[in-house]
Amino acid sequence: MKVLMEVMELKFSSNIARTITKNLYVRIEAPKGELGIFLIGDQNGFPWRWKIRPPGFINLQILPQLIKRMKLADIMTILGNIDIIMGEVDR
């Protein structure tokens, strides 16, 4: 019963409204790399703009440096090892 009360207390304390008043960029370690979240606030409960930078987009930026002077078969292997999902890159 004591554990249940502690969980309920934690649940109620986590529902505090927070206002975003400035630009905020947060990096999170995701399974495929670094996930970036960019928020622009306008002093209410919701962000004015929300932009997510997926790990595939960040990983794709190093591809030109990796494929210099490589054969075509090696390029396909490198691209497969980076594990890029084009749906998250092209949005």
26-75 pLDDT, tens per residue? 898 988 888 898 888 877 767 788 888 888 888 888 889 988 999 988 98
What's the Cα-to-Cα distance from 20 to each of 46, 53, 58, 72, rounded to whole Å? 8, 19, 26, 47
Joined together, the tokens standing for residue 44 give 């209410």
- Predicted TM-score (pTM) of the model is 0.58
When pLDDT is averaged across residues 76-82 and rounded to a whole number, the result is 86
Task: Using the predicted structure, report yes or no on whether residue 1 has a pLDDT greater than 80.
Answer: no
Map out the domains of the chain as residue ranges: 18-89
* Residue-level pLDDT at 84: 80
